[in-house]
Amino acid sequence: MFTGIIEVIGNVILIQPRGGGLYIDIDSGLDLKEDHVGDSIAIDGVCLTITHIKGRIFTATASGETISRSTLGHLKPGAKVNIERALKLSSRLGGHLVLGHVDTTSTILGSDRAGQSICIRISLDKAYSKYVIEKGSIAVDGISLTVNQVKESYFEVNIIPYTALAATLTLKGPGDRVNIEFDIIGKYVERLIGKETDNNLEDILKRQGFI
């Protein structure tokens, strides 16, 4: 479990294809003395497992399934990536609950200045539009963001100066792909009542124990 609050920008130093997946070596710049092989870590919003640690460099393994659903297969040595270690129960939840299970990838369409911030437009497939609501939460490359506006084929998020420096999103431009994870609460609500949308709402809430 993660919060979408990026700890640091890491540098990819080596990528090794293996068994249909990838072994990715990343210089985190972090003190990893309290981290262990087997720990979860989010790379550009993708939850991976640490398989080796040496100093501030760690290796994470991505399966073929993970590669097919994310941008990790396009990484090259020298790429900068967002890093967040797994949430501790004693930590503050500064962003929103992020699982690190990427739902899809989307394309950056463009950006505009909005005062000191940057407004970024990102494509939105109609199949996923039901999960995106104005002022709701969304994770883009692992960054917890608030949706400013939703249109038929895109949504907009605002990047404040701190986030622009602390994460990689503003290093990307039109045509670049980003990892998207929709708010887990919306997906569970759909699962609970999605098959009952033709029924009376009051009956649905009664069966689910809300009233």
Q: What is the pLDDT of residues 124-160, one digit of tens each?
A: 999 999 899 999 999 999 999 999 999 989 999 999 9
**pTM confidence score:** 0.87
Q: What is the pLDDT of residues 193-210, one digit of tens each?
A: 765 555 566 676 677 777
- Give the pLDDT of residue 90: 76
- Domain 104-189: give its CATH architecture: Beta Barrel (2.40)
Q: What is the pLDDT of residues 42-97, one digit of tens each?
A: 999 999 999 999 999 999 999 999 999 999 999 999 999 999 999 887 777 788 88
Q: Residue ranges of the domains in the chain?
A: 8-85, 104-189
- Domain 8-85: give its CATH architecture: Beta Barrel (2.40)
Same fold, 8-85 and 104-189: yes
31-40, 77-86, 113-122, 196-205: segment of lowest average pLDDT = 196-205
Q: What is the pLDDT of residues 162-185, one digit of tens each?
A: 999 999 999 999 999 999 999 988
Confidence of residue 121 (pLDDT cuts 50, 70, 90): very high
Contact 26, 35 (CB under 8 A): no
- Give the pLDDT of residue 199: 57
